[in-house]
Amino acid sequence: MVVGVIALAMKGGGESGGSSAVADPVIPAVSEADIIAAAAQLGPRDQELVDIGETGVSIIRAGGARKYVALTFDDGPGPDTPAVLAELKRLNVPATFFVVGHAVAENPGALRQVVADGHEIGVHTWTHPDLTALPGRAQRSEIENTAGEILAASGVASRLFRAPYGAVDPDVLKRAEDAKLLSVLWNVDTMDWTRPSAGQIVETVLSNAVPGSIILMHDGGGDRTATVQALPRIVTGLRARGYEFATVGDLVISDPPGSDDMSSKSRSTQK
């Protein structure tokens, strides 16, 4: 912050000097505070998501007016993230990744690859705790430190949040709202963290997806070989049924959820 102020003061002084203005060689340093301040500036798309989040609910699916679904991947980045990205690229499918802050800190390059491939990023806390069991200050740091790490690593100001285990209560939702994040749950759970076969994962998705579905999978937190293997059949199967794919943000904005598509309840049995 201090460096930035000094650099700006030097630049301003040069300009007020009124000489033949040559490009100022001083490049103002951008501090973390400046980055966070810039991220707080909401574009129209961000504002739509934040507005929904301010109603104190979690989204479980979009409105259902369009035959789109959103694939979501939690707990990464991890060792299987590159394989998930490779399949999504081959299949030309956008997805949403709810990342864990400490995993981003360990492998910021993986997060940058997710962003470079055109996917959306959401906050999934720093250490993956049950937030409902934590005091407010800890809830806040779990969320805000992760949002800051995502921003520092990739330049992305995330507007989406998914609570670990889907465990939300009014306090947790308020913390998300304070951080200008929309809480996102799901209405199709592949249960892939329980290590079903690829065929079982495919069957769960194809038999439960409806227009507007948000589908929960994982690219981190354990061996995700079956998830990777399931992806081609999930995508071709859904396309054969007339579905297309969108990120959660695009899904929600293009097809706003109704009251039946939101939840303020806690779910505590999921990964």
Site residues, Zn ion (CB under 5 A): 74-75, 164
Q: Supply the minimum distance, in Å, between the C-beta of residue 14 and Zn ion.
A: 51
**Catalytic residue among 119, 124, 128, 218, which?**
218
Residue 220, both tokens: 């981190």
Please, what is the minimum distance in Å from the beta carbon of residue 134 to Zn ion?
15
Q: Which structure tokens are listed for 180? A: 């200008």
User: Residue 112: how many CB atoms within 10 A of its CB?
Assistant: 16
Which residue's CB comes closest to Zn ion? Answer: 74
Task: Write down the least CB distance from residue 74 to Zn ion, Å.
Answer: 4
CB of 98 to Zn ion, least distance (A): 7
Residue 164 CB, shortest distance to Zn ion, in Å, is 5
> 218 catalytic, yes or no?
yes
Q: Among 46, 74, 189, 219, which one carries the catalytic annotation?
A: 74
Report in angstroms the alpha-carbon separations of 121 from 94, 117, 134, 151, 192. Answer: 11, 11, 24, 10, 20
159-169 burial code (b ≥16 CB/10 A, e <16): bbbbbbbbbbe
77 vs 255, beta carbon nearer Zn ion: 77
CB of 193 to Zn ion, least distance (A): 8
Closer by beta carbon to Zn ion, 48 or else 130: 130
Nearer to Zn ion, 131 or 228 (CB): 131
Amino acid at 100: V
∠ Cα 52 55 58 (to 5°): 70
Nearer to Zn ion, 74 or 219 (CB): 74
Contact 269, 165 (CB under 8 A): yes
**Residue with Cβ nearer Zn ion (39 or 216):** 216
Q: Which CB atom, from 39 or from 185, has the smaller least distance to Zn ion?
A: 185
Q: How many CA atoms does the CB half-sphere of 87 hold within 13 Å?
A: 21
Residues taking part in catalysis: 74, 218
